[in-house]
Amino acid sequence: MQEVAMHQLPMHETFTPLAQDISFLASDETVEHSHPFFADGFAGLIYSRSGQPFRLQPGDKELSDFYLYGQTVHPISLDVSGPFRLVVIRLYPFAIRMLLNVDPRDLKDECYDLRLVDGVDTDSTLLRLHRTESTDEVVDILAQYFAQLLRHAASNPDYRVRLATNLILKASGQISIKEVREALGVSERTLERNFHQEIGVTPKQFARIVQFRSAMTAMTDADYLKLTDVGYESGYSDQSHFIRSFKDYTGRTPRQFLEILPRA
């Protein structure tokens, strides 16, 4: 069994406007590690340290040790051989376009090597990161780099898109796009076009992702015999809809997913 330490790190004030949380994962074991990532509606910044590079699956793509990732729609995993350290900063979905001015649609299930960013000293940041063993110092260095990205940000997110994402997240995906449009006073076409451009997925797909993630979180805390209740309470109209959504985002049915979770 893989022994992987995982815990939340304190949020640095520099990240607060654009980030949800910071996670730290680590292992000293010389084994193969596979870390699944499922859709949750957020983007993210990752810094990793390992003897062998992480690889993105499917596709077996070698990853940089410092990158941003976009919307995760299909189930993916980060695989690595041997000991590693990994810091993940989950970013609100509008942050990618704001920080990089790249098309978020191009980063769906993909990553962007931060060494490619112009106007900031990424190499110097990486050198400092590689030299420290302190997790707190890693977060401080990442916060300083994040501040550089913000100073060179090429655009501000459409405030209507930002409000739309907040409405959907607050409702755990259980809100119709019509309700979102009426709250913002925009047409269906305008919301669809601007949201897709800023976030990388449509508002309807984003709501489905957030609803799925809410159900997954509730399910892992629930009695294994009450999957029907989880689906109902998460806003799914019937069990088949719940199962279909789960298979879309994890490749497994809810019950199959529960079977692979570590037991206490």
What are the tens digits of pLDDT across the range 187-231?
A: 999 999 999 999 999 999 999 999 999 999 888 775 555 788 888
pTM above 0.75, yes or no: yes
Under 8 Å between Cβ of 66 and 110: no
Which one is predicted more confidently, 259 or 25? 25
How far is the C-alpha of 96 from the C-alpha of 102, rounded, in Å?
Answer: 7
Which one is predicted more confidently, 146 or 258? 146
Under 8 Å between Cβ of 119 and 91: no
Instruction: Report residue 262's pLDDT band, with 50, 70 and 90 as the boundaries.
Output: low
Mean per-residue pLDDT, 244-254: 92
**pLDDT 10s digits, 23-81:** 999 999 999 999 888 999 999 999 999 999 999 999 999 999 999 999 999 999 999 99
Tokens for 261? 């979770």
Instruction: Report residue 103's pLDDT band, with 50, 70 and 90 as the boundaries.
Output: confident
Class of domain 159-260: mainly alpha
Residue 1's pLDDT is 42
Measured in whole angstroms, the distance separating CA 3 from the mean position of its chain's CA atoms is 23
Closest C-alpha to 163, from 155, 151, 175? 175
Return the residue matching tokens 């508002």.
203
Residue 241's pLDDT is 92
> What would the CATH number be for the domain defined by 5-151?
2.60.120
* DSSP H helices in the chain: 95-100, 122-131, 135-151, 159-170, 177-184, 188-199, 203-221, 227-233, 239-250, 254-260
Q: Do domains 5-151 and 159-260 have the same CATH topology?
A: no
In the chain, where the domains are located: 5-151, 159-260
Is the per-residue pLDDT at 264 higher than 50? no
**Rg of the chain over CA atoms, in angstroms?**
19
Instruction: Report residue 159's pLDDT band, with 50, 70 and 90 as the boundaries.
Output: confident
How far is the C-alpha of 42 from the C-alpha of 38, rounded, in Å?
Answer: 10
Q: What percent of the chain stands above pLDDT 70? A: 95
